[in-house]
Amino acid sequence: MEDRTERRSIWGDSDQQGAMNYVTPEVTLAALASVKQGRMIDLSHELKVGAPQIPPFMSPYLLGMWANPDTTRRWVKEKFDATNDLGVFTERVSLCMHTGTHVDALGHFTIGDEMFNGWRYQTSSSNFGLERLGIEQMPPMITRGVCLDVGGGDGGDFLEGGRVVTRRHLEKALDKARVELRPGDAVLLRTGWGRFFMTDNARYTASEPGIDEEAARWLAERKICAIGADNMAVEVMPNPNPRLVLPVHQYTLVEAGVYLIENLVLDHVVRQGLATFCMIMLPVKFTGATGCPVRPVALL
């Protein structure tokens, strides 16, 4: 089996950054120049036990104490003959990297055996993680965030699970916000579904409103770097075609190199009437990971 397929990145055979190539220094400087107040809005959920998960793809989030003052006080006294009665808490965490507010690495999905930039997963991964396209390959993101409220289409303030957010919905939301997308933008979709995160996890994970593949392709054609949403998967679930499972992930991550940011908190952004802002998101460089929890912020 050859190492590569014919489908290659427009940024070259060695590219592992995908659409983050659109976030040029000029794009970052323009985003930073928009900051006038020095005020920040947190776009993430707390990461804690009981966070929503989709089995069998995701393991539960667990946190337990590894060391505590009962043991460390005694150890420090015995080891160093310390006089300052030092106690220490440390912990260990077990989690799927797609728990809570997180970003998907380009290596998260395949189409058959093909990954982004034509690499085959058989020669790009091991039991110790991805050897190509892991989250460590994603640069820090400082760009313009564009928040589109698509959650009020039925006269309410959220869309029901299984409702498709189409290209037309996106165009209408952009017109309403008086925003034109630019290369390097991160587009964040507020559907209202985030209200069920940790309040009704069964409902939150059973279905969700989200974009279809046509809408994803339309966004990618605008040379954006990422699509985010206040739901588990950005895309509509279940897909209207019952024989398709997560096709938006396959298109964005494998074909377009566009990152997905999931489980965002966007209601308060919309309530404040904010359509654009400087967005900062710094992925943690877990080498070989298929994604990682993040804490994106809107800087105003």
Q: Look at phi and psi of residue 157 and say left if phi exceeds 0, alpha if psi is from -120 to 50, else beta.
A: alpha
Query: Based on the domain organization, do 194 and 281 belong to the same domain?
Result: yes
User: Strand, coil or helix: what is 272?
Assistant: coil
Report whether 151 contacts 190 (CB < 8 A): yes
Residue 12 lies in a domain: no
Helix H or strand E segment including 72: helix 69-80
- C-alpha span between 165 and 229 (Å, rounded): 11
Alpha helices per DSSP H over 212-274: 213-221, 247-249, 267-271
Shared domain for 79 and 223, answered yes or no, is no
**Same domain for 202 and 81?**
no
Q: What is the CATH number of the domain that holds 166?
A: 3.50.30.50
Q: Return d(Cα 261, Cα 229) in angstroms, integer.
A: 7
CB atoms within 10 A of CB 247: 17
Q: Is 8 within a domain?
A: no
What was the pLDDT predicted at 3?
85
The Cα–Cα gap between 74 and 258 comes to: 51
pTM listed for this prediction: 0.96
Quick one: CA dihedral 150, 154, 158, 159, positive or negative?
negative
Kindly state whether residue 263 falls inside one of the protein's structural domains.
Answer: yes
Q: Does 285 reside within a domain?
A: yes
Cis peptide leading into residue 209 (ω within 30°): no
Whole-number Cα distances in Å, 253 to 102, 117, 166, 264, 269: 15, 10, 19, 18, 26
Indicate if 127 and 272 belong to the same structural domain: yes
User: 87 and 22 in one domain?
Assistant: no
Residues 87 and 207 in one domain: no
Same domain? For 84 and 192 the reply is: no
Nearest to 44 by CA among 280, 290, 286: 280
Could you tell me the residue range of the domain that residue 74 belongs to?
A: 62-94
Residues 6 or more apart whose CB falls under 8 angstroms from that of 88 comprise 67, 68, 69, 72, 76
Residues 198 and 247 in one domain: yes
- CA pair distance 186, 261, nearest whole angstrom: 9
In a domain, 54, yes or no: no
Residues 26 and 90 in one domain: no
Considering the domain boundaries, does residue 72 fall inside one?
A: yes
Domain check: are 198 and 248 in the same one?
yes
Classify residue 9: in a domain, yes or no: no
Q: 89 and 102 share a domain?
A: no
What's the pLDDT at 2? Answer: 73
Residues 186 and 67 in one domain: no
In a domain, 53, yes or no: no
SS3 label, residue 237: strand
The number of folded domains in the chain is: 2
- Residue 155 has what pLDDT? 40
Which residues are paired to 276 by β-bridges?
146
Q: Strand 129-130 vs strand 141-149: parallel, antiparallel, or unpaired?
A: unpaired
- Helix, strand, coil percentages, rounded to 5, for the chain: 30, 20, 50
Give me the pLDDT at residue 128, please.
Answer: 95
User: Could you give the 3-state DSSP secondary structure of residue 210?
Assistant: strand
Blockwise average pLDDT, block size 10, the chain, 300 residues: 86 97 98 98 97 94 96 95 95 97 98 97 96 98 97 71 97 96 98 97 97 98 98 97 97 98 96 96 98 98
